[in-house]
Structure 1
């Protein structure tokens, strides 16, 4: 009985916490800087051009450690459905070893919400030195690493985002992945939708009308 009483006594607190989190999401998406960051169409078009170019050649490699590995994996799964040859590396040794596969026809995308993940930053630096194209996704304006990436995609920044103060750090990054995916699916749409349909057929999934 006491457990039940505790549950009902705390119900109001739970509802309040839920409202706080939802308000935080709304604030994030309405924030002027966030909108400008994730709706920089010129930048996104540049990045899609790079992705589209590398679809014709070698693999695309996604680097992400910790919470960013969730985003890296989702990036792989989403774009793999469209026929992109993409792999993701989610721990430091894999990122270090992967440099042997990187060449001038590679695209390397590094994800670091904080902009301080040494393995990801170092992976981008080494990839750049080998002539690969590089893109960085971050909530931080890491211009000090400008020589390591060709493009920086800012995912919008809430205070303390990197330490999951309120919103899970991967959520804003996943929003950017969704935008990139949508742009890519509709960009120079040759046979991407056919490949998507083929993928869905192979996993026995039928899109709802």
Structure 2
């Protein structure tokens, strides 16, 4: 699906995680700039306190022959920018994240986690802040399939439920940053009690592996957690939807789903007055 987004900005966003700190400074300047100005290598270098050689290396890393070619394409694109295109920027941000979700999905991992959920006696979803909203959505979706599942966003309840977890429990922890203290404490307690721990995060730090049985990586963009452009729950829920699909593809879930649906229909029928 194609939109009219500034293609050079899209290129910078996609490459952002591969940049050095100096290159990230340069990239942020061009991503945030919304007007034409003196963009000579000398002027940009002085403004950013970087060398002109750094600008040249940056341009080449972005796929251009040099900084002059980069600026030519940048000015051509930025001149088309206006406030009417803001909606396209939002849509393209969603599209970029969706494309990145597709790239990092691990099918074998999803099947494995779906099996964990099928065999579990109790599932708890930990999340705080915006991740807590996502946790509640996970709770509602999987509850309809018959899972004994609960969403928890209170720090005290996270610790209490983690302490009650055992070998038949599955903990799903959601933290984009992967550094939320209350979440890390909770999964550490649950893991020590023998629970299976699944974490959804954009943090690629190897340190998290000691807390988790499986880590579902979530694609992200700069300042996603702030929610300034799009909902930070979006990439989380995309990956949850993928897991949900693998779960319902598992034959073992049908009996529990049927029991749940029968209970709902029975309640609705008893409420009818003839």
TM-score normalised according to structure 2 size: 0.63
- Bigger Rg, which one: 2
Is 1:43 the counterpart of 2:81? The answer is no
Q: Would you say the 8 A contact 1:61–1:87 is kept in 2?
A: yes
Aligned mate of 1:158, from 214, 221, 224: 221
Match of 1:3 in 2: none
Determine the C-alpha separation between the residues in 2 that align with 1:83 and 1:124.
24
Match of 1:100 in 2: 163
CA shift at 1:40, angstroms? 1.2
Question: Which string of whole-angstrom CA distances, capped at 9 and with x for unpartnered residues, describes residues 135-183 of structure 1?
Answer: 0001221321211000000122222222224221111101111111111
User: Counterpart of 1:70 in 2: which secondary structure?
Assistant: helix
Shift of 1:66: 0.3
CA distance in 2: counterparts of 1:182 and 1:196, whole angstroms: 18
Instruction: Report deviation, 1:116.
Output: 1.2
Distance 1:173 1:49, change over 3 A: same
Report the Cα distance in structure 1 between the residues aligned to 2:240 and 2:190, rounded to whole angstroms.
21
Residues in 2 aligned to 1:87 and 1:183: alpha-carbon distance in whole angstroms: 20
Size of the alignment, in residue pairs?
187
SS of the residue 2:125 aligns to: strand
| Equivalent position of 1:134 in the other structure | 197
Instruction: Report the CA distance between 1:199 and its aligned residue.
Output: 5.7
CA spacing shift, 1:185–1:196, aligned 2, 3 Å? farther
- 1:2-21 equivalences in 2 (<5 Å): 13=83, 15-21=84-90
Q: 1:19 to 1:127 in 2, by over 3 A?
A: same
1:143 maps to: 206
- Say yes or no: does 1:24 pair with 2:78: no
Paired residues of 2:173 and 2:187 also in contact (CA < 8 A) = yes
Name which structure has the greater RCO, CA cutoff 8 Å, separation 6+.
1
8 Å Cα contact 1:59/1:85 also seen in 2: yes
Counterpart for residue 187 of structure 2:
124
- Match status 1:85 vs 2:148: yes
- Conservation of the 8 A alpha-carbon contact between 1:51 and 1:107: yes
The offset of 1:196, in angstroms, is: 5.6
Secondary structure of 1:99's counterpart equals helix
Over the residues paired in the alignment, what is the CA RMSD in angstroms? 2.1
Q: Of 255, 258, 267, which residue of structure 2 is paired with 1:194? A: 258
User: Which residue in the other structure is 1:207 paired with?
Assistant: none
Structure 1 residues 26 and 63: CA distance shift in structure 2, 3 A? same
| Aligned counterpart, 1:4 | none
Q: Which runs of 5+ in 1 are unaligned?
A: 1-11, 205-209
After superposing the two structures, state which structure 1 stretch, 190-199 or 15-24, moved more: 190-199
CA distance in 1, matches of 2:159, 2:234: 26
